[in-house]
Structures are given as C-alpha cells and as structure tokens.
C-alpha cells in the first residue's frame, strides 16, 4: 500500500499519536483539522508597532495551531494579550516554560545541527516550533516554523517587515541554520493534520486505520519512541537519541547573592551570584536591572548550555543616611605581630560618602559627612601608634590598639586590636 504524503479520512479520523508517556494510543476526533485550516491567514499574527515581543507573538501562533489540531473551536480567542499574562515577564521576555489553556510550552537549545533537528522536531510537532536567534544583529528575533514540505522550510514571521502568513523561511528574518534555541509544546501530545492528497491515494487504500504500516512514512511504531529529558517523545528512527541536548531548568537551583542591601552613592551595584555546583558564563549568565538608584534592583540569572529557564533575585538600594555610611566603616591591621623596631599599619576603609579628618570643619553643614579618626595604645612603652595609624614596636609585650571613629554629633564607633611585640 502506497501513501504519498499522509492520510485523508473524511468523517471520523483515527490518529496514531505519541501520548505524553511515550507510548501510542488511538485517539478519535469527530473532525480532524486539515493542513489548510492550521495555515489559514486568520491563524497568523504580527507584532504591533514594533513592540519587540516577537517570541510572544510566535508562541501565540504556535498555541493557536495546537488548539486547532486538538479540536478547540475557540482558537481565535487565543490572543497575544491573553497569552502574555501567563507567558511574559516585563523587562525580561518570554518565560522558558509556561502553560496557557492546558497547553505547556518549554524552551530548549539545539545541539549542533539546527536544520536536521528542526526537520525531526516538525515530524514530532505538527503544530510547529518557535525558532529563536538570540545573537542576531541588530537584535534577537523569533519566528514560528510551521512545516517542512518538499524540502523547503516554511514559517510565519511576526515582523511586519516580511510578508504575512505562511511563507518560505528564506523570506523570514531568522534562518533555520542560525537558530540558537526553540520553543515547543511538551504537553499535551498534538495530533497531526490531514495532508492534502491526490486521486492516486484513494481512501479505500487506507481504510484499515489499524494497519500501522500506513503510518510508516509519517510516524514511528511504538518500540522506536523514547522520551528525552524535556518530556518530548523522540522517534529514534528519525535521528540519534542524543541529537537534542538534555537541559535542566535552572530554577530548580538556589542562587545566592553576595549582598542583599546597598546604599545609594551614584555607582552601579552588582552583587555577585553563586549557584552551588554551577559556573557563571558556562551554566548561566547574569544581568542587572535598576541597579543604580534607590529602590528594588533585580538580578536576572539565565541558564545556558545544559541549563534552561531563569531565576529572578532582588536586592535593595537604600537612600542612605550618614549613620548607614558610618556603620559601613571597616578597620583592619596589617600585622598582629611585629618585632621591636618594626611597624604595622592600621588600614581604614570608609564609604565614598564619608571623609576622614583629624578635626571637624567649623561650618556644621560641611561636618555632617566627616569622620574624625583617632588612635591610642594601651601601653605606648610596648607599642605606640601615631595619628596616621602607624604602629611601632618598642619592647616585648602585648598591647591593645584602639581606633575610634566619631561623627560631628558625637556618635562613636570603636575597633580594638591586639598587637604582640617580639
């Protein structure tokens, strides 16, 4: 029995499809969607006024096509604005995983052959996949890859700079070979559409829906279906099981910031990020939002390589008072042990907003951010300290060196160190 492109069944269609757990079931639909229905011009959408939401628009078209294929008569109600509520993070972009109307969309990275991987993915996903070219110049862009027919990729491009509807991918702004990653529907399994057929493919030739040989050209038998780490059913007859790299959602990890509170001083604040077991710029990248002025700043941690998804962490930039700065003063000593005649140095660390002085300014407004620093020794016969914090050993013994920081209003802070003279 010969099948040219697929199967056309007029009334009730029995579709062999991989179910979510990796096996095959027959699913009965009262009316299967056709190739023309999922590619009707009304299905496709464009970005509005160059709003730079190409991934969101492409994902919305993907969900619309999936809804049509699953028999949802209200697919037109699936709009960009409605999907955005579940799928979009302002200032960041499309989530790496989200669910809308029971349809779950995930993101994954291509291994090393986007073209052949896309061909294989389209055979598993008749609804299509969203291609994303992150490193595209002048900016990243996404398209909906709709199908691979007669050796040609077709797409729907959200950009209003290219033709509307289903077009050859060569006319789009993203080429398959340049794609970095893709979005796909991981649940539920989407049934295939009815392919166009010719008179040579008579319905009587295909009247046995239970004959699995009918599906050899467009499906794999159950023993050749496996599941990758993303939950995607993979046909091992189509490509090697290791073609698509497994990815782990980085949000499963706990990210730690080196600091949660900063004080505003006009400089950029960038707390370091640590994720136990992972390496920055290999397993994840870090970017910052609103990290100069007082308020809540954001750290965006995006998985790369074998990791997908993202983590959002916040930290605080406060409008500091002189007392906040005063509490950030740190003092250390270069040596805790010196020989007679040798020296050590008190090392003072002041926030940029404060100025160390020996005496306060006469004018009160000038003295507000001044800090008077003084030094003393518990026994200057063993070790003495001068007004610059230089400690000199005089004879053997142990002394306490005290450093006092004082504001103009009398607020004080003291630091004490033991120095051993040998």
pLDDT bracket for residue 287 (50, 70, 90): confident
pLDDT of residue 190: 86
**Using DSSP, how many helices (H) and how many strands (E) does the chain show?**
6, 30
Task: Give residue-wise pLDDT tens across range 342-386.
Answer: 999 999 998 888 999 888 988 887 888 899 999 999 999 999 999
Q: Are 187 and 198 in contact (CB under 8 A)?
A: no
pLDDT of 157 above 80: yes
Least confident of 31-35, 217-221, 273-277: 217-221
DSSP three-state, residue 181:
strand
pLDDT of residue 241: 36
pLDDT of residue 420: 95
Separation of alpha carbons 303 and 292, rounded Å = 25
In sequence order, the 6+-apart residues with CB closer than 8 A to the CB of 183 are 55, 58, 59, 62, 94, 105, 106, 107, 129, 130, 132, 142
Q: Are 149 and 123 in contact (CB under 8 A)?
A: no
What are the extents of the domains in the chain? 35-187, 248-318, 322-421
Give the whole-number percent of the chain exceeding pLDDT 90.
50
pLDDT of residue 239: 34
Tell how strand 337-338 and strand 412-421 pair up. Answer: parallel
**Mean per-residue pLDDT over the chain, rounded:** 80
Q: Are 186 and 105 in contact (CB under 8 A)?
A: yes
Task: Give residue-wise pLDDT tens across range 170-209.
Answer: 989 999 999 999 999 998 888 887 755 433 343 333 333 3
**What is the DSSP annotation of 8-20?**
--SS-EEEEEE-T
The size of the chain, in residues, is: 422
CATH class of residue range 35-187 = alpha beta
pLDDT bracket for residue 245 (50, 70, 90): very low
Q: What is the CATH number of domain 248-318?
A: 2.60.40
Domains 35-187 and 322-421 share a fold: no
| Residue for token pair 């990791």 | 307
Topology of domain 322-421, CATH: Immunoglobulin-like (2.60.40)
pTM over 0.75: no
pLDDT of 70 above 60: yes
């Amino acid at each position: 029995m010969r099948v040219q492109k697929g199967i056309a069944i007029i009334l009730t269609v029995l579709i062999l499809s991989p179910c979510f757990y990796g096996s095959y079931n027959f699913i009965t639909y009262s009316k299967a969607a056709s190739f023309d229905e999922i590619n009707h011009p009304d299905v496709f959408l464009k970005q509005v006024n160059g709003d730079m939401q190409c991934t969101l628009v492409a994902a919305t078209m993907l969900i619309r096509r999936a809804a049509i294929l699953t028999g949802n008569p209200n697919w037109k109600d699936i709009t960009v604005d409605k999907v955005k509520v579940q799928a979009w993070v302002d200032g960041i972009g499309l989530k790496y995983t989200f669910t809308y109307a029971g349809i779950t969309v995930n993101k994954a990275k291509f291994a090393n052959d986007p073209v052949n991987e896309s061909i294989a993915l389209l055979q598993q996903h008749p609804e299509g996949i969203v291609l994303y070219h992150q490193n595209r110049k002048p900016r990243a862009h996404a398209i909906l890859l709709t199908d691979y027919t007669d050796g040609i990729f077709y797409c729907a491009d959200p950009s209003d700079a290219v033709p509307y509807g289903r077009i050859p991918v060569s006319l789009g702004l993203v080429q398959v070979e340049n794609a970095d990653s893709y979005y796909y529907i991981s649940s539920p399994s989407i049934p295939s559409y009815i392919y166009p057929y010719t008179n040579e493919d008579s319905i009587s030739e295909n009247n046995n829906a239970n004959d699995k040989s009918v599906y050899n050209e467009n499906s794999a038998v159950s023993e050749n279906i496996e599941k990758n780490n993303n939950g995607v059913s993979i046909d091992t007859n189509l490509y090697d099981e290791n073609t698509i790299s497994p990815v782990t959602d980085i949000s499963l990890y706990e990210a730690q910031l080196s600091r949660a509170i900063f004080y505003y001083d006009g400089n950029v604040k960038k707390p370091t990020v640590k994720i136990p077991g992972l390496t920055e710029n290999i397993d994840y990248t870090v970017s910052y939002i609103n990290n100069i002025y007082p308020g809540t700043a954001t750290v965006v941690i995006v998985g790369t390589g074998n990791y997908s998804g993202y983590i959002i962490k916040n930290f605080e930039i406060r409008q500091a008072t002189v007392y906040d700065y005063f509490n950030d003063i740190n003092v250390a000593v270069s040596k805790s042990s010196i020989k007679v005649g040798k020296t050590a140095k008190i090392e003072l660390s002041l926030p940029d907003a404060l100025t160390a002085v020996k005496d306060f300014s006469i004018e009160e407004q000038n003295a507000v951010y001044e800090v008077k620093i003084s030094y003393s020794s518990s026994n200057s016969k063993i070790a003495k300290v001068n007004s610059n914090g230089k400690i000199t050993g005089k004879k053997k013994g142990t002394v306490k060196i005290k450093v006092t920081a004082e504001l103009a209003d009398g607020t004080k802070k003291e630091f004490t160190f033991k120095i051993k003279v040998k």
